[in-house]
Amino acid sequence: MKCAAGLALLLGLAACATVGDRAPRPHERAFPDGFQPPLSKATGQPVYGWGGRWQPPASADKDSPSRTPILFIHGNTEDATYWEDARRWFLDAGWNDDELWAPSYGWASTDRFDVNDLAAPTLDAFVDEVQRYLSRKSGRPIRQFDIVAHSLGVTAVRQWLTQSNRWHQVRSFVAVAGANHGVWTARPDARGPSRASSFELHRGSPWLAQLNAGGEVAGAMRTMTLYDGTGRYDALFPSGYEDSPALAGAVNVAFNREARGWDGGYNHLELPRQPATLAVIADFLRAGHEPLPNATAPTLVRDGNILRAVPADARLHCTGQGRYPDAASTPRVTVTLPAGAWLTCYAHSAVSGLSSPMARLAASGSPPDPAPPQLTASPEPGPYAQPVNLRLRASVPDALIVYSTTSGEPDSGSALYRGPIHLPAPVQLTAIAITPDGRRSAPLRLRYDISLAYDEALHSLQRQLDPDAPLPDRDRP
């Protein structure tokens, strides 16, 4: 590296340090050549962040990554540099550059808070790109990731998994101090730049109810939560909220309560960045089954109303009533689909460590009407000042409605429409209806701009003086 001698002298800096020694910076795309950072849904710009062998010399190791890569997902108003301590710790612990990635999915500013519904599609695109890059680099498919998320990153990841039906691509998920059941500082009547995340994450919010409705863990993904638990150290989860980050069905570690005792505890920002907690996280990740590199992922095969898994060593995990099956669900070789009810299933191979995507299926009878179902929505798409409860209606009564707010087309395993969808933040949503015999409606693409700007425009001084002053365009696509 060329040394900026004058500047270094002037500022007394270590400006001559090699690039390889330095940490990624907040507004830096510290990614290797050939990696195309996706656009952030929040900022409209390519995401900042770090990952891969971004520092020269480029990695020439064709076998890298040799273990499941970790994605670090930061919390509200933070950015990827939040994970610098974790990055160094994992490098020291044996992970290599190709196995560590972190996007900055938002604004990293308290002037513009992050929002789960905007973070989810950004994460979806980022995972796609890491997968594409690493698969091309290593010459073999990279099918699974580990995820370590913090705070709003936890709920953003859970929303991404729900919306994208990519549970099978996450081997282990460590959720640190996430507001899974609400956070003390969020309020349903919030105002200002934090209002969207506040609408999402206040206790009892419809958004969280949607997120948790199908079960708090799903698929073969191993899940661990790590949080304060004392109500004292993490200011976001005081008494009454101390177990909000726990997830039913996960390995829940109230770290300060269980492990620290009189040794004190770590606060909200410290929890995922301390050697003691990083060791717990790493142990959990190491205990995961490393997927066989060239194995075929299981699939669900339907013969009439009989469901089985391929390959033969794979087993089915199914549940009814709209709940997600998880690793604790009874594994079966075959399942007979019941009439008049939907099952949610995935196939998992203990040998390969791989799973199929989630799918919802029902026994099919003779269709009374072979035409595809129709799907309608209300209220109409457009800008709204306040959160919207979106109602979807299928023309076929026993049709299943699924939707996705990530970029992909929904499939039967995507988020299930259980009632009006609470939209507290800007979303682009695609919904389809599926009948028990497999007929699908045309995708219904909807864009709702639940906009602070719109709210402010409604209440501007100009509109107080002139009620006919123009508002943002309701008809924009």
Partner 1 sequence: MKRWPALACIALAGPAQAAIVFTPHVSEYAVLPRGTYLDTTVAHASIDRIWDADGRKVALGNTAIPPGEAIDATLLLGRYLWIGNLFEDSGLPFLADHDQVLRVIGTAGRQSASGAINDLSRDFGQTSRGTGLGDVFLLAGVYGQQYHHGPLHGNGLYTLTVKAPVGSFRRDSLLNPGTRYWSVMPQLSHHQDWFGRLSIEATAALQINSAASRTAYGGLTPSKPASVFNLEANFAWKFSARWYAETGISHYRSLGSNRYDEVSLNRADQPVPPTAACTTLLVPADQCGLLDVFYLAPVPGSYRDRGIRNNIVTAGFSYVYRSSAVASLRAALPVAGRGSQFMVPYHVCASTPCNADSELPAARQTARLSGVQEAAAISASPYFELRLVFLLFAP
As measured in angstroms, the least distance from the Cβ of 212 to partner 1 is 21
Q: How many residues bind partner 1 (CB under 8 A)?
A: 43
As measured in angstroms, the least distance from the Cβ of 192 to partner 1 is 7
Identify residue 206 by its one-letter amino acid code.
P
Q: How far apart (Å, rounded) are the C-alpha atoms in residues 395 and 374? A: 5
As measured in angstroms, the least distance from the Cβ of 80 to partner 1 is 12
CA quadruple 418, 422, 428, 434: dihedral, nearest 10: 10
Q: Residue 460, interface with partner 1 (CB under 8 A)?
A: no
Residue 253: CB atoms within 10 Å = 22
Please pick, from the candidates 40, 68, 116, 185, the single residue that binds partner 1 as defined by CB under 8 A. Answer: 185
Q: How many residues would you count in the chain?
A: 477
Q: x/- binding map, residues 248-277, to partner 1, per CB under 8 A?
A: --------x-----xxxxxx--x---x---
Cβ atoms of 348 and 314 within 8 Å: the answer is yes
As measured in angstroms, the least distance from the Cβ of 211 to partner 1 is 19
Residues 75-104 binding partner 1 (CB under 8 A) are 77, 81, 84
Among the residue ranges 24-32, 39-47, 394-402, 448-456, the one whose residues contact partner 1 (CB under 8 A): 24-32
How much helix, strand and coil, in percent to the nearest 5, is found in the chain?
25, 25, 50
Q: x/- binding map, residues 313-352, to partner 1, per CB under 8 A?
A: ----------------------------------------
Residue 354: CB atoms within 10 Å = 24
Burial of 97 (0-12, 13-18, 19+ CB in 10 A): buried
Helical (H) or strand (E) element with 148: strand 145-150
Burial of 288 (0-12, 13-18, 19+ CB in 10 A): middle
Nearer to partner 1, 26 or 338 (CB): 26
Please pick, from the candidates 1, 5, 16, 26, the single residue that binds partner 1 as defined by CB under 8 A. Answer: 26
As measured in angstroms, the least distance from the Cβ of 276 to partner 1 is 10
The token duo for 172 is 């282990």
Q: Residue 23, interface with partner 1 (CB under 8 A)?
A: yes
**409 three-state secondary structure:** coil
Please pick, from the candidates 190, 217, 358, 399, the single residue that binds partner 1 as defined by CB under 8 A. Answer: 190
Nearer to partner 1, 20 or 26 (CB): 26
Strands 48-51 and 100-104: antiparallel
Among the residue ranges 126-134, 159-167, 186-194, 456-464, the one whose residues contact partner 1 (CB under 8 A): 186-194
Q: Residue 18, interface with partner 1 (CB under 8 A)?
A: no
Contacts with 156 (C-beta within 8 Å, 6 or more apart), sequence order: 73, 105, 114, 116, 119, 120, 123, 149
Cβ atoms of 82 and 153 within 8 Å: the answer is no
Please pick, from the candidates 29, 87, 195, 308, the single residue that binds partner 1 as defined by CB under 8 A. Answer: 195
Q: In what order do the strands lie in the sheet with 334-336?
A: 299-303, 306-310, 334-336
Helical (H) or strand (E) element with 175: strand 170-176
Please pick, from the candidates 239, 294, 366, 464, the single residue that binds partner 1 as defined by CB under 8 A. Answer: 239
As measured in angstroms, the least distance from the Cβ of 317 to partner 1 is 39
Nearer to partner 1, 77 or 223 (CB): 77
Among the residue ranges 178-186, 317-325, 326-334, 460-468, the one whose residues contact partner 1 (CB under 8 A): 178-186
Q: x/- binding map, residues 116-155, to partner 1, per CB under 8 A?
A: ----------------------------------------
Q: Residue 192, interface with partner 1 (CB under 8 A)?
A: yes
Cβ atoms of 150 and 177 within 8 Å: the answer is yes
Q: How far apart (Å, rounded) are the C-alpha atoms in residues 53 and 427? A: 33
As measured in angstroms, the least distance from the Cβ of 436 to partner 1 is 44
Nearer to partner 1, 198 or 441 (CB): 198
Contact positions vs partner 1 (CB under 8 A) = 11, 13-15, 22-23, 25-28, 77, 81, 84, 109-111, 113, 184-187, 190-195, 198, 230, 232-233, 235, 238-239, 256, 262-267, 270, 274
